[in-house]
Structure 1
Amino acid sequence: MEGRFESTSEIIHSVRQWISLICRDMHASTHISSFDLQVLKSLNVQAVLSPNRRCKTITWNCPSAGWVKLNTDGSSLGNPGASGIGGIIRNNHGKLIHAFSSFIGIGSNNRAELLALLHGIQVCKSLSLNYVHIELDSMNVISWWKSKRCGVWYLEDF
């Protein structure tokens, strides 16, 4: 601060306090490098270490005979932000029938998830695939599909 003089020990104390506050507010998933841990240790500042992550095995199961499976996903870098969609259609042996991905402009994650599903359904229709098992990870889109109502004004036209 201008016009104020602090001793070296006061400055070090202030820096420690400031870093301690930052460490306290870090999320448990924040990754800290070993060098940063050494610096924090030398300043006698306790770091919040992220807990061990638990792995969960995700499996893909083939659809029943005569059916195909459509898996879709949408994402947005920011919300709203640059968005993209993707999907894959496989037969009951797991063989690839069709895959797609596309940049869809700036939008929300929900818009991307919904457009991914709609595009996937359009592809299935264009390929005359009538027995389609659909898998996606958006609980919002699943809820909208089941209720036959989106509830988000800017997505209602889809």
Structure 2
Amino acid sequence: MLCEFVRYTVDLTKKTKKTAFKGEWLKGFVLIPYFIWLERNGRKFEGVYKSVEHCFAQVKSEISCQALVHSGVAISILDLVTARSLGFSGVQRRPQKIFEVFWCPPQARWMKLNLDGCSIGNPGKSRAGSILCNEKAEVVENFRKFLGTRTNFEAKFLALMIGIELAKHHNVQRLWIECDSVEVVTLFQKMRSPWIARQRWMNCVSYLEDVE
């Protein structure tokens, strides 16, 4: 098992310079043989036996204590979750550029629907949300909902469908929709729907045909 770990670590560090937590992998490369050596000496000379779980906890604790702030390449959500489960302190993503975005209220007698959806893991646990505002920038309706295991695209399209259903419920006749997904916008412009929302789409077709 140790040989397999060593081989995997060496291959991983050779294949890419963007490996997240490369330093922590190298610490494990050194610490695991060291703790195996300690356990071997304890069993042979002192008659003290520790469980595998205890040895692993020691390695994990030692790596966590020595882990530095990760300020290299941007890491994925999966890397962040792994780091937190292992107890790596000070883990953060590379600061990203901040873009200023202006939100404009709709024209008189119009309603504006802003929506978004996301998935952790893509596919993974997903949520969707939207907000419906009037010409005075007042919130008429909003929602946030857990969607189960979905892809990013599915989450965004379902957010669109739920938002349209809210607009239909409020009998909105002039609707302005904003979404950051090109795929969702393209399908909507072509009046098409993926199979995941086909029934909901059919229930909204007649309403959409009457909306400006």
Q: How far did 1:76 drift? A: 1.1
Compared CA separation, residues 36 and 18, structure 1 to 2 (3 A):
farther
CA distance in 2 between counterparts of 1:48 and 1:104 reads: 33
Partner of 2:41: none
Match among 7, 14, 24 for residue 17 of structure 2: 24
| Structure 1 stretches of at least 4 aligned residues deviating more than 6 Å after TM superposition | 17-20, 49-52
Which letter maps to 2:103?
W
Compared CA separation, residues 140 and 20, structure 1 to 2 (3 A):
same
Compared CA separation, residues 131 and 153, structure 1 to 2 (3 A):
closer
Residues 1:93 and 2:136 are matched in the alignment:
yes
Contact 1:83-1:104 at 8 Å conserved across structures: yes
TM-score (norm 2): 0.51
User: SS state of the match for residue 100, structure 2?
Assistant: coil
Contact 1:71-1:89 at 8 Å conserved across structures: yes
Partner of 2:104: 61
Partner of 2:150: 107
CA RMSD of aligned residues (A): 3.4
**Deviation readout 1:14-60 (Å, 9 max, x if unpaired):** xxx98975882248xx9x9xx747xxxxxxxxx95778743210111
Compared CA separation, residues 155 and 96, structure 1 to 2 (3 A):
closer
Task: Name stretches of at least 5 consecutive residues in structure 1 with no aligned partner.
Answer: 3-16, 38-46
User: SS state of the match for residue 158, structure 2?
Assistant: helix
Contact 1:23-1:48 at 8 Å conserved across structures: no
Which letter maps to 1:71?
N
Partner of 1:11: none
Query: More strand by proportion, 1 or 2?
Result: 1
Partner of 2:120: 77
Task: Name stretches of at least 5 consecutive residues in structure 2 with no aligned partner.
Answer: 3-9, 24-66, 75-93, 202-212
**Deviation readout 1:99-130 (Å, 9 max, x if unpaired):** 11111111111111111001111111111111
Aligned length: 133
Compared CA separation, residues 89 and 155, structure 1 to 2 (3 A):
closer
Which letter maps to 2:17?
R
Q: Which of structures 1 and 2 has the larger relative contact order (alpha carbons within 8 angstroms, sep 6+)?
A: 1
Partner of 1:143: 186
Contact 1:89-1:97 at 8 Å conserved across structures: yes
Partner of 1:14: none
Query: More helix by proportion, 1 or 2?
Result: 2
Which letter maps to 1:139?
V
